[in-house]
Chain A
Amino acid sequence: MSEKREISRRTFLNYALMGTGGFLAAGMITPMIRFAVDPLLKHSAGGDKVAVGSIDEFGAEPKRVEFKVHTKDGWYESESVLAAWVTKNDKGEVTALSPVCKHLGCTVDWNKGEHENEYFCPCHMGRYKIDGAHVLGTPPTKSLDLYETEVKDGKLYLGKIKPNPLPGVTG
Protein backbone atom coordinates (compact mmCIF):
# COMPACT_ATOMS: atom_id res chain seq x y z
CA MET A 1 0.00 0.00 0.00
CA SER A 2 2.63 2.43 1.09
CA GLU A 3 4.79 1.44 -1.83
CA LYS A 4 1.99 2.22 -4.25
CA ARG A 5 1.53 5.64 -2.71
CA GLU A 6 5.25 6.24 -3.07
CA ILE A 7 5.07 5.60 -6.82
CA SER A 8 2.04 7.72 -7.44
CA ARG A 9 3.60 10.55 -5.50
CA ARG A 10 6.74 10.33 -7.60
CA THR A 11 4.65 10.20 -10.75
CA PHE A 12 2.71 13.21 -9.59
CA LEU A 13 5.90 15.13 -8.93
CA ASN A 14 7.22 14.12 -12.33
CA TYR A 15 4.09 15.41 -14.01
CA ALA A 16 4.28 18.60 -11.98
CA LEU A 17 7.89 19.02 -13.01
CA MET A 18 7.04 18.49 -16.69
CA GLY A 19 4.16 20.93 -16.41
CA THR A 20 6.27 23.61 -14.79
CA GLY A 21 9.07 22.99 -17.26
CA GLY A 22 6.61 23.23 -20.12
CA PHE A 23 5.26 26.49 -18.73
CA LEU A 24 8.76 27.91 -18.36
CA ALA A 25 9.72 26.90 -21.88
CA ALA A 26 6.47 28.18 -23.40
CA GLY A 27 6.64 31.40 -21.45
CA MET A 28 10.14 32.06 -22.68
CA ILE A 29 9.78 30.89 -26.25
CA THR A 30 6.29 32.10 -27.24
CA PRO A 31 7.06 35.81 -27.34
CA MET A 32 10.30 35.09 -29.16
CA ILE A 33 8.65 32.92 -31.80
CA ARG A 34 5.91 35.47 -32.40
CA PHE A 35 8.63 38.11 -32.62
CA ALA A 36 10.54 36.10 -35.21
CA VAL A 37 7.61 35.21 -37.47
CA ASP A 38 6.10 38.71 -37.46
CA PRO A 39 6.98 39.42 -41.12
CA LEU A 40 5.05 36.28 -42.10
CA LEU A 41 1.86 37.49 -40.47
CA LYS A 42 2.14 41.17 -41.18
CA HIS A 43 -0.21 42.46 -43.81
CA SER A 44 1.78 43.22 -46.91
CA ALA A 45 2.23 46.97 -47.02
CA GLY A 46 2.89 47.27 -50.74
CA GLY A 47 -0.71 46.70 -51.73
CA ASP A 48 -1.69 50.32 -52.25
CA LYS A 49 -2.64 51.13 -55.79
CA VAL A 50 -1.39 54.30 -57.41
CA ALA A 51 -3.44 56.50 -59.76
CA VAL A 52 -1.72 57.01 -63.09
CA GLY A 53 -4.31 59.04 -64.98
CA SER A 54 -7.79 59.19 -66.38
CA ILE A 55 -9.07 56.03 -68.03
CA ASP A 56 -10.09 58.01 -71.12
CA GLU A 57 -6.48 58.75 -71.96
CA PHE A 58 -5.81 55.17 -72.92
CA GLY A 59 -6.74 53.38 -76.09
CA ALA A 60 -5.71 50.50 -78.28
CA GLU A 61 -2.31 52.07 -78.86
CA PRO A 62 0.05 51.48 -75.89
CA LYS A 63 0.77 54.58 -73.87
CA ARG A 64 3.65 54.93 -71.46
CA VAL A 65 2.97 56.22 -67.95
CA GLU A 66 5.35 56.84 -65.08
CA PHE A 67 4.32 56.80 -61.46
CA LYS A 68 5.87 56.89 -58.04
CA VAL A 69 5.47 54.15 -55.49
CA HIS A 70 6.28 54.19 -51.85
CA THR A 71 8.41 51.23 -50.82
CA LYS A 72 8.91 50.26 -47.24
CA ASP A 73 11.74 47.97 -46.20
CA GLY A 74 11.60 47.54 -42.46
CA TRP A 75 12.69 50.87 -41.06
CA TYR A 76 13.74 52.26 -44.44
CA GLU A 77 11.22 54.04 -46.61
CA SER A 78 11.85 55.28 -50.10
CA GLU A 79 10.13 56.46 -53.25
CA SER A 80 10.83 54.74 -56.52
CA VAL A 81 9.68 55.54 -60.02
CA LEU A 82 8.03 52.81 -62.06
CA ALA A 83 6.80 52.86 -65.63
CA ALA A 84 4.05 50.99 -67.46
CA TRP A 85 2.72 50.56 -70.97
CA VAL A 86 -1.07 50.80 -70.81
CA THR A 87 -3.60 49.66 -73.41
CA LYS A 88 -7.38 49.49 -73.36
CA ASN A 89 -9.27 47.18 -75.70
CA ASP A 90 -12.78 47.59 -77.17
CA LYS A 91 -14.43 46.00 -74.15
CA GLY A 92 -12.79 48.52 -71.88
CA GLU A 93 -10.37 46.01 -70.35
CA VAL A 94 -7.11 47.62 -69.36
CA THR A 95 -3.71 45.95 -69.61
CA ALA A 96 -0.67 47.53 -67.97
CA LEU A 97 2.67 45.97 -68.89
CA SER A 98 5.93 46.43 -67.07
CA PRO A 99 8.63 47.73 -69.44
CA VAL A 100 11.31 45.55 -67.89
CA CYS A 101 12.55 42.97 -70.36
CA LYS A 102 12.29 39.42 -69.00
CA HIS A 103 15.65 38.51 -70.43
CA LEU A 104 18.14 40.66 -68.56
CA GLY A 105 15.99 43.53 -67.38
CA CYS A 106 16.68 46.23 -69.95
CA THR A 107 13.85 48.58 -70.83
CA VAL A 108 11.60 47.79 -73.78
CA ASP A 109 10.11 50.35 -76.11
CA TRP A 110 6.97 50.32 -78.27
CA ASN A 111 7.01 50.75 -82.03
CA LYS A 112 10.67 51.37 -82.29
CA GLY A 113 12.18 51.84 -85.73
CA GLU A 114 11.38 48.85 -87.92
CA HIS A 115 9.72 46.95 -85.08
CA GLU A 116 6.17 48.03 -85.76
CA ASN A 117 3.44 46.98 -83.37
CA GLU A 118 5.92 45.29 -81.10
CA TYR A 119 7.77 45.94 -77.89
CA PHE A 120 11.46 45.81 -78.62
CA CYS A 121 14.35 45.43 -76.23
CA PRO A 122 17.52 47.01 -77.62
CA CYS A 123 19.91 44.98 -75.50
CA HIS A 124 19.58 41.60 -77.17
CA MET A 125 16.79 42.19 -79.68
CA GLY A 126 14.05 40.74 -77.50
CA ARG A 127 10.56 41.21 -78.94
CA TYR A 128 7.07 41.11 -77.46
CA LYS A 129 3.60 41.38 -78.97
CA ILE A 130 1.15 44.09 -77.94
CA ASP A 131 -0.31 41.91 -75.17
CA GLY A 132 3.19 41.33 -73.77
CA ALA A 133 3.52 37.79 -75.13
CA HIS A 134 7.17 37.11 -75.93
CA VAL A 135 8.10 36.23 -79.47
CA LEU A 136 9.62 32.78 -79.71
CA GLY A 137 13.15 32.71 -81.03
CA THR A 138 14.12 35.94 -79.30
CA PRO A 139 16.04 35.87 -76.00
CA PRO A 140 13.18 36.39 -73.50
CA THR A 141 11.56 33.20 -72.27
CA LYS A 142 8.69 34.83 -70.42
CA SER A 143 6.08 37.41 -71.33
CA LEU A 144 6.24 40.96 -69.95
CA ASP A 145 4.97 41.27 -66.40
CA LEU A 146 1.56 42.78 -65.71
CA TYR A 147 0.50 45.33 -63.15
CA GLU A 148 -2.70 44.74 -61.22
CA THR A 149 -5.18 47.27 -62.52
CA GLU A 150 -8.28 48.89 -61.09
CA VAL A 151 -10.58 51.56 -62.51
CA LYS A 152 -12.21 53.77 -59.92
CA ASP A 153 -14.03 57.07 -60.46
CA GLY A 154 -12.80 57.22 -64.04
CA LYS A 155 -9.21 56.90 -62.98
CA LEU A 156 -6.79 54.05 -63.60
CA TYR A 157 -4.95 52.65 -60.59
CA LEU A 158 -1.96 50.34 -60.89
CA GLY A 159 -0.93 47.89 -58.18
CA LYS A 160 1.52 45.10 -57.72
CA ILE A 161 3.48 43.42 -60.48
CA LYS A 162 2.45 39.87 -61.27
CA PRO A 163 3.77 37.39 -63.83
CA ASN A 164 2.15 37.29 -67.24
CA PRO A 165 0.82 33.80 -68.00
CA LEU A 166 0.75 34.29 -71.79
CA PRO A 167 2.78 31.69 -73.68
CA GLY A 168 5.25 32.70 -76.34
CA VAL A 169 4.03 33.27 -79.89
CA THR A 170 5.77 32.89 -83.19
CA GLY A 171 6.30 35.93 -85.30
Chain B
Amino acid sequence: MLQKMYDWVDERLNITPMWRDLADHEVPEHVNPAHHFSAFVYCFGGLTFFITVIQILSGMFLTMYYVPDIINAYESVKYLQNEVAFGVIVRGMHHWGASLVIVMMFLHTLRVFFTGAYKKPRELNWVVGMLIFFVMLGLGFTGYLLPWDNTAYFATKVGLEIANSVPVIGPYAKALLTGGDIVGAQTLSRFFAIHVFFLPGALLGLLGAHFVMIRAQGISGPL
Protein backbone atom coordinates (compact mmCIF):
# COMPACT_ATOMS: atom_id res chain seq x y z
CA MET B 1 0.00 0.00 0.00
CA LEU B 2 2.67 2.46 1.10
CA GLN B 3 4.86 1.25 -1.74
CA LYS B 4 2.03 1.86 -4.19
CA MET B 5 1.49 5.37 -2.89
CA TYR B 6 5.20 6.07 -3.19
CA ASP B 7 5.26 4.72 -6.75
CA TRP B 8 2.24 6.82 -7.62
CA VAL B 9 3.91 10.01 -6.44
CA ASP B 10 7.27 9.00 -7.89
CA GLU B 11 5.77 8.39 -11.33
CA ARG B 12 4.44 11.92 -11.36
CA LEU B 13 7.26 13.80 -9.62
CA ASN B 14 10.34 11.60 -9.90
CA ILE B 15 11.25 11.96 -6.23
CA THR B 16 13.59 8.98 -6.05
CA PRO B 17 16.78 10.87 -7.06
CA MET B 18 16.19 13.49 -4.34
CA TRP B 19 15.44 10.88 -1.75
CA ARG B 20 18.43 8.70 -2.67
CA ASP B 21 20.73 11.72 -2.57
CA LEU B 22 19.57 12.53 0.95
CA ALA B 23 19.57 8.97 2.24
CA ASP B 24 22.73 7.62 0.67
CA HIS B 25 25.16 10.46 1.10
CA GLU B 26 28.25 9.22 2.76
CA VAL B 27 28.98 10.12 6.38
CA PRO B 28 32.75 9.96 6.86
CA GLU B 29 34.37 8.11 9.70
CA HIS B 30 35.82 11.17 11.47
CA VAL B 31 32.43 12.63 12.34
CA ASN B 32 30.97 9.38 13.60
CA PRO B 33 31.03 9.06 17.40
CA ALA B 34 30.64 5.29 17.04
CA HIS B 35 34.22 5.15 15.72
CA HIS B 36 35.87 8.00 17.60
CA PHE B 37 34.11 9.11 20.72
CA SER B 38 35.64 12.58 20.40
CA ALA B 39 33.51 13.00 17.28
CA PHE B 40 30.57 13.79 19.56
CA VAL B 41 31.49 17.44 19.00
CA TYR B 42 30.00 17.00 15.53
CA CYS B 43 26.59 16.35 17.10
CA PHE B 44 26.02 19.89 18.33
CA GLY B 45 24.78 21.20 14.99
CA GLY B 46 22.17 18.46 14.74
CA LEU B 47 21.14 18.99 18.37
CA THR B 48 20.75 22.72 17.76
CA PHE B 49 18.36 21.88 14.95
CA PHE B 50 16.54 19.34 17.11
CA ILE B 51 15.95 21.90 19.85
CA THR B 52 14.97 24.52 17.29
CA VAL B 53 12.26 22.15 16.09
CA ILE B 54 11.06 21.76 19.68
CA GLN B 55 11.09 25.55 20.07
CA ILE B 56 9.00 26.05 16.94
CA LEU B 57 6.48 23.39 17.91
CA SER B 58 6.15 24.38 21.57
CA GLY B 59 5.94 28.05 20.56
CA MET B 60 3.12 27.30 18.14
CA PHE B 61 1.20 25.52 20.85
CA LEU B 62 1.86 28.22 23.44
CA THR B 63 0.10 30.78 21.24
CA MET B 64 -3.10 28.75 21.66
CA TYR B 65 -3.34 30.25 25.15
CA TYR B 66 -1.03 33.25 25.16
CA VAL B 67 -2.38 36.76 24.63
CA PRO B 68 0.10 39.55 23.80
CA ASP B 69 -1.54 42.31 25.79
CA ILE B 70 -0.33 44.09 28.91
CA ILE B 71 -3.49 43.34 30.86
CA ASN B 72 -3.76 39.69 29.91
CA ALA B 73 -0.30 38.44 28.97
CA TYR B 74 0.79 37.66 32.51
CA GLU B 75 -2.55 36.08 33.42
CA SER B 76 -2.54 33.93 30.29
CA VAL B 77 0.99 32.68 30.96
CA LYS B 78 0.08 31.93 34.55
CA TYR B 79 -3.04 30.13 33.40
CA LEU B 80 -1.34 28.03 30.77
CA GLN B 81 1.40 27.09 33.19
CA ASN B 82 -0.71 26.30 36.23
CA GLU B 83 -4.17 25.36 35.00
CA VAL B 84 -3.64 23.69 31.67
CA ALA B 85 -2.64 20.03 31.68
CA PHE B 86 1.07 19.66 30.82
CA GLY B 87 1.35 23.43 30.71
CA VAL B 88 4.43 23.23 32.92
CA ILE B 89 6.06 20.92 30.39
CA VAL B 90 5.15 22.87 27.29
CA ARG B 91 6.16 26.23 28.71
CA GLY B 92 9.17 24.56 30.31
CA MET B 93 10.25 23.18 26.94
CA HIS B 94 10.05 26.61 25.40
CA HIS B 95 11.68 28.39 28.35
CA TRP B 96 14.57 26.00 28.96
CA GLY B 97 14.90 25.23 25.27
CA ALA B 98 15.64 28.89 24.65
CA SER B 99 18.71 28.58 26.86
CA LEU B 100 19.64 25.15 25.59
CA VAL B 101 19.54 26.20 21.96
CA ILE B 102 22.00 29.01 22.73
CA VAL B 103 24.30 26.57 24.52
CA MET B 104 24.19 24.06 21.66
CA MET B 105 24.70 26.74 19.05
CA PHE B 106 27.62 28.13 21.02
CA LEU B 107 29.24 24.69 21.17
CA HIS B 108 28.55 24.07 17.49
CA THR B 109 30.15 27.42 16.62
CA LEU B 110 33.21 26.57 18.71
CA ARG B 111 33.51 23.17 17.03
CA VAL B 112 33.40 24.80 13.60
CA PHE B 113 35.88 27.43 14.69
CA PHE B 114 38.43 25.14 16.28
CA THR B 115 38.32 22.60 13.45
CA GLY B 116 38.81 25.45 10.99
CA ALA B 117 35.78 24.24 9.09
CA TYR B 118 34.87 27.76 7.99
CA LYS B 119 37.79 27.99 5.58
CA LYS B 120 37.51 28.02 1.81
CA PRO B 121 35.15 26.93 0.29
CA ARG B 122 32.78 27.14 3.29
CA GLU B 123 33.07 30.87 4.13
CA LEU B 124 29.50 31.63 3.10
CA ASN B 125 28.08 28.95 5.31
CA TRP B 126 29.94 30.39 8.29
CA VAL B 127 28.45 33.82 7.58
CA VAL B 128 24.96 32.34 7.33
CA GLY B 129 25.61 30.50 10.60
CA MET B 130 26.58 33.77 12.28
CA LEU B 131 23.36 35.36 11.02
CA ILE B 132 21.46 32.43 12.53
CA PHE B 133 23.27 33.14 15.79
CA PHE B 134 22.13 36.78 15.77
CA VAL B 135 18.57 35.80 14.90
CA MET B 136 18.57 33.38 17.83
CA LEU B 137 19.81 36.09 20.19
CA GLY B 138 17.06 38.35 18.84
CA LEU B 139 14.51 35.62 19.50
CA GLY B 140 15.85 35.29 23.03
CA PHE B 141 15.63 39.03 23.67
CA THR B 142 12.12 39.47 22.28
CA GLY B 143 10.80 36.28 23.84
CA TYR B 144 12.04 37.26 27.28
CA LEU B 145 9.50 40.12 27.50
CA LEU B 146 6.43 38.12 26.54
CA PRO B 147 5.43 36.69 29.97
CA TRP B 148 5.19 40.33 31.11
CA ASP B 149 6.46 39.67 34.62
CA ASN B 150 8.83 41.93 36.53
CA THR B 151 11.96 40.10 35.40
CA ALA B 152 10.87 40.42 31.80
CA TYR B 153 9.78 44.01 32.06
CA PHE B 154 12.86 45.40 33.73
CA ALA B 155 15.34 43.32 31.77
CA THR B 156 13.78 44.62 28.56
CA LYS B 157 13.90 48.16 29.88
CA VAL B 158 17.61 47.79 30.54
CA GLY B 159 18.14 46.22 27.13
CA LEU B 160 16.36 49.11 25.45
CA GLU B 161 18.36 51.63 27.49
CA ILE B 162 21.52 49.96 26.24
CA ALA B 163 20.22 50.25 22.67
CA ASN B 164 19.41 53.87 23.40
CA SER B 165 22.99 54.64 24.37
CA VAL B 166 24.26 53.77 20.89
CA PRO B 167 25.16 57.03 19.14
CA VAL B 168 22.99 58.40 16.34
CA ILE B 169 20.81 55.39 15.55
CA GLY B 170 20.29 54.26 19.15
CA PRO B 171 17.27 56.42 20.02
CA TYR B 172 15.59 55.49 16.74
CA ALA B 173 16.21 51.80 17.25
CA LYS B 174 14.80 52.09 20.74
CA ALA B 175 11.70 54.00 19.62
CA LEU B 176 11.15 51.51 16.81
CA LEU B 177 11.30 48.57 19.22
CA THR B 178 9.36 50.28 21.99
CA GLY B 179 6.68 51.62 19.70
CA GLY B 180 6.28 54.76 21.79
CA ASP B 181 7.84 56.55 24.72
CA ILE B 182 7.42 53.86 27.34
CA VAL B 183 7.74 50.10 27.50
CA GLY B 184 4.06 49.23 27.40
CA ALA B 185 1.23 47.87 25.32
CA GLN B 186 2.82 48.71 21.98
CA THR B 187 6.18 47.27 22.99
CA LEU B 188 4.63 43.97 23.95
CA SER B 189 2.71 43.56 20.70
CA ARG B 190 5.76 44.57 18.69
CA PHE B 191 7.99 42.10 20.48
CA PHE B 192 5.35 39.45 19.95
CA ALA B 193 5.21 40.14 16.22
CA ILE B 194 8.99 40.09 15.94
CA HIS B 195 9.31 36.96 18.05
CA VAL B 196 6.59 34.99 16.31
CA PHE B 197 6.67 36.12 12.70
CA PHE B 198 9.64 38.20 11.61
CA LEU B 199 12.55 36.38 13.24
CA PRO B 200 11.23 32.82 12.76
CA GLY B 201 10.67 33.66 9.09
CA ALA B 202 14.26 34.82 8.79
CA LEU B 203 15.43 31.82 10.79
CA LEU B 204 13.73 29.29 8.52
CA GLY B 205 15.21 30.91 5.42
CA LEU B 206 18.69 30.94 6.91
CA LEU B 207 18.44 27.37 8.18
CA GLY B 208 17.37 26.24 4.71
CA ALA B 209 20.38 27.98 3.18
CA HIS B 210 22.64 26.47 5.87
CA PHE B 211 21.51 22.92 5.12
CA VAL B 212 21.53 23.28 1.34
CA MET B 213 25.13 24.50 1.54
CA ILE B 214 26.18 21.63 3.81
CA ARG B 215 24.61 19.14 1.43
CA ALA B 216 26.22 20.77 -1.60
CA GLN B 217 29.71 21.05 -0.10
CA GLY B 218 29.76 18.04 2.16
CA ILE B 219 31.12 18.04 5.65
CA SER B 220 34.67 19.29 6.14
CA GLY B 221 37.38 16.66 6.07
CA PRO B 222 39.37 15.27 9.01
CA LEU B 223 42.05 17.45 10.56
- Any A–B CB pair closer than 8 Å: yes
Query: B180 contacts which of A36, A37, A73 (Cβ < 8 Å)?
Result: A73
Residues of chain B at interface, number, CB under 8 A:
14
Give the shortest distance, in Å, between A150 (CB) and chain B (any CB).
20
Contact of A40 among B172, B184, B185, B189 (CB under 8 A): B172
Q: Does B186 contact A (CB under 8 A)?
A: yes
Known: A46-B181, A73-B180, A74-B180. A40 touches B175 (CB 8 A): yes
B residues 164-209 with Cβ under 8 Å of A?
172, 175-176, 178-182, 184-186, 189
Residues of B within 8 A of A73 (CB): 70, 180, 182, 184-186
Asked if B178 and A39 sit within 8 Å, CB to CB, the answer is yes
A residues in contact with B184, CB < 8 Å: 73-74, 76
Task: Evaluate whether A39 and B186 lie within 8 angstroms (CB atoms) in the complex, with A44-B181, A74-B180, A76-B70 already known.
Answer: yes
Q: Mark A44-72, 1 if CB is under 8 A from B, else 0.
A: 10100000000000000000000000010
Nearest chain A CB to B182 CB, angstrom units: 6
- Tell me what chain A mostly uses at the interface: helix, strand, loop, or mixed: mixed
How many A-B residue pairs have C-beta atoms within 8 angstroms? Tell me. Answer: 32
- Tell me which residues across on chain A come within 8 A of B71, comparing CB atoms: 76
The docked-state distance in angstroms from the alpha carbon of A76 to that of B186 is 10
Contact (Cβ within 8 A) A39 B182: no
C-alpha gap A39/B171 in the complex (Å): 12
Q: Output the least CB separation between B208 and chain A (Å).
A: 21
A129 CA to B131 CA in the complex, in Å? Answer: 51
CA distance A44 to B180 in the complex (A): 8
Query: Which one of A36, A37, A44, A76 contacts B185 once the chains associate, using CB atoms below 8 Å?
Result: A76
Contacts of B180 in A (CB 8 A): 39, 42, 73-74
- In chain B, positions 124-182 with a C-beta closer than 8 Å to chain A are 172, 175-176, 178-182
B residues near A, CB below 8 A?
A: 70-71, 172, 175-176, 178-182, 184-186, 189
The 8 closest A-B pairs by CB, nearest first: A73-B184, A74-B185, A74-B186, A39-B179, A40-B175, A39-B180, A73-B185, A76-B185
Q: A40-B176, A71-B182, A73-B185 are in contact. List 19 more A-B contacts (CB 8 A).
A: A36-B176, A39-B176, A39-B178, A39-B179, A39-B180, A39-B186, A40-B175, A42-B180, A44-B181, A73-B70, A73-B180, A73-B186, A74-B179, A74-B185, A74-B186, A74-B189, A76-B70, A76-B184, A76-B185
